[in-house]
Amino acid sequence: MEFQLPTNKPLLKNQEHILVIGAGLCGSLLALRMAQRGYKVTLMEKRPDLRKEIVDSGRSINLAFSDRGMKGLRLAGLEEQVLPLCIPMNGRMIHNTAGELFMSPYSGRNEYINSISREDLNIMLLDECDKMPDITMLFNQKCTGVALETGEATFEDYKTQQTTTYKADVVMGADGVGSALRKSMLDHRKFLFSYGQDFLTHGYKELSFPPGADGGFLVAKNALHIWPRGKDMMIALPNLDGSFTVTLFLSWEEGKDSFESLNTDAAVLDYFEREFPDALELMPDLLKEFKENPTSPLGTIKCAPWHAYGKVLLLGDAAHGIVPFYGQGMNSAFEDIDVLDKYLNKYEGDWEAVFKAYQNERKEDTDAIADLAVDNFHEMKAHTARPIFQEKRKLEIAFEEAFPKEYFSKYALVTFREDLRYSEAMRRGRVQDKAILNLIHDGKFTESMSLHEKLDLVKLETRKMLHDDEVVEGLEEE
């Protein structure tokens, strides 16, 4: 597939020099796209080249990849290349405490998300960058600071300890939640920079199911497996080699079971025997992995502005770190690049205008997905096993199967409607959820009603609630 060229003007070879900090998923795709647009790009990464050395990033091993992320790869002409790396997941396979399984499809339109290896995808993107003569990649380079007004960035080479300063026309920070560029903006003091970091009371630890003796999958391959347990939960995503990456989400220190209290082999085994007995049978290395694998925090980062002086810009986790419970971290970062590209088409040559327009559209949307991800954390661990939630999902799937163009669940609006902004998906989805749950709770769906009559009732209730929200918003603005 060919990448998409700007439509409003011819490409100018080596138009300007862009320095991209961070060669993870967002940074490598960003560098590739900027080079495709004709810029000269230097891509800097503090870690070694993961294609040549084993790199422990401390990040999740695999990710949920869906439509918004594909939009960014499609822009760069990589849609076909990424498909062999994907395992489709058609829904959530819910494991209750009795060991019973319930499949909850993601949609009634046969839509699905994908499990993809972070490392495999990153390698593919770096290989594509290697093919571009206008991209220079440098590894083992830790950014120690950025001069925002001049576009000068200083790096320390981990191997030689030598410090080098690079000057660029524009510096773009895709250097993750610990962003050096964001720190330079926070420390700058010449403009107002807002920054907030909000941690959950839970952390996470990655474990695994190995492949079966025949190399196959020990549980259903095409599903995201979830063990909801009220205060905590566990999930599992499939890998191409037949294994599953298992993630335990557990309180740091609150309650009977926490990462703090599970400090002996006996305590770990007791907890898994009580809460996840069916999974325990598939985890021969549990005690070793529990002891050796890190326990990591879960937090949301919001900041503003994302840009300064028409010289620097934050993207991806550096601008908006989110918790992983909507599977949208990577997808939102890739969508960032698509939105940025749109404003480059409109304002190319005026970086200040590009950055302002980009943030004006995007900040509202990344705030929305950050809030939705926290909502989904509580939904996944506590609500997915509740009868009223299962009744709601069953009804929504029936709506989507029978009326695929008339009804989209909140999850579908967020995950599969790449044409819809996150902020609008949140607004519509939250109200729709509340409408359906209220109607179920109040017994408004009668047995004599047809499915379309039930849908009409949901639409009517949703419209009323949206109208009420708009009235309140109007009063607040007066």
Which of 10-19, 39-48, 276-285, 411-420 bottoms out in mean pLDDT, i.e. has the lowest?
A: 10-19
Tell me the pLDDT tens digit for each residue of 345-372. Answer: 999 999 999 999 999 999 999 999 999 9
Region of residue 310 (phi > 0: left; psi between -120 and 50: alpha; otherwise: beta): left
Buried b / exposed e over 395-418, threshold 16 CB at 10 Å, is: bbbebbeeeeeebbbbbbbbbbbb
Which of 52-61, 266-275, 302-311 bottoms out in mean pLDDT, i.e. has the lowest?
A: 52-61
The answer on pLDDT for 11 being more than 60 is: no
Positive or negative: CA dihedral 224, 381, 197, 195: positive
Tell me the pLDDT tens digit for each residue of 210-248. Answer: 999 999 999 999 999 999 998 899 999 999 999 999 999
Q: DSSP 3-state assignment of 394?
A: helix
- At 473 the pLDDT is 59
Tell me the pLDDT tens digit for each residue of 125-154. Answer: 999 999 999 999 999 999 999 999 999 999
Look up the CATH architecture of domain 17-85+117-197+298-377. Answer: 3-Layer(bba) Sandwich (3.50)
- At 58 the pLDDT is 57
Q: DSSP 3-state assignment of 375?
A: helix
Eight-class DSSP state of 83: G
- At 6 the pLDDT is 47
| Mean pLDDT calculated for residue range 71-88 | 98
DSSP 309-371: TTTEEE-GGGT----STTS-HHHHHHHHHHHHHHHHHHHTT-HHHHHHHHHHHHHHHHHHHHH
Spatial distance between the Cα atoms of 20 and 39, rounded to a whole number of angstroms: 12
| Mean pLDDT calculated for residue range 180-208 | 95
The answer on pLDDT for 383 being more than 80 is: no
The answer on pLDDT for 433 being more than 90 is: yes
Spatial distance between the Cα atoms of 59 and 411, rounded to a whole number of angstroms: 24
- At 14 the pLDDT is 46
Average pLDDT, the chain: 93
Q: How confident is the model at residue 378 (pLDDT cuts 50, 70, 90)?
A: confident
- At 387 the pLDDT is 85
The answer on pLDDT for 7 being more than 90 is: no
Domain edges within the chain: 17-85+117-197+298-377, 198-297, 386-477
The answer on pLDDT for 270 being more than 70 is: yes
Q: What predicted TM-score, i.e. pTM, was given to this entire model?
A: 0.93
Eight-class DSSP state of 210: P
Q: Residue 456 CB: number of other CB atoms within 10 A?
A: 13
Helical segments of 84-137, H only: 118-130
Which of 167-181, 306-320, 388-402 bottoms out in mean pLDDT, i.e. has the lowest?
A: 388-402
The residue ranking higher by pLDDT, 376 or 418, is 418
Q: How confident is the model at residue 61 (pLDDT cuts 50, 70, 90)?
A: confident
Tokens of 373: 């991800």
- For the chain, give the percent of residues with pLDDT over 70: 93
The answer on pLDDT for 294 being more than 50 is: yes
Q: Residue 64 CB: number of other CB atoms within 10 A?
A: 23
Tell me the pLDDT tens digit for each residue of 26-35. Answer: 999 999 999 9
- At 9 the pLDDT is 40
Omega before residue 6 within 30° of 0, cis: no
Eight-class DSSP state of 211: P
Q: How many CA atoms lie within 13 A of 266 on its CB side?
A: 0
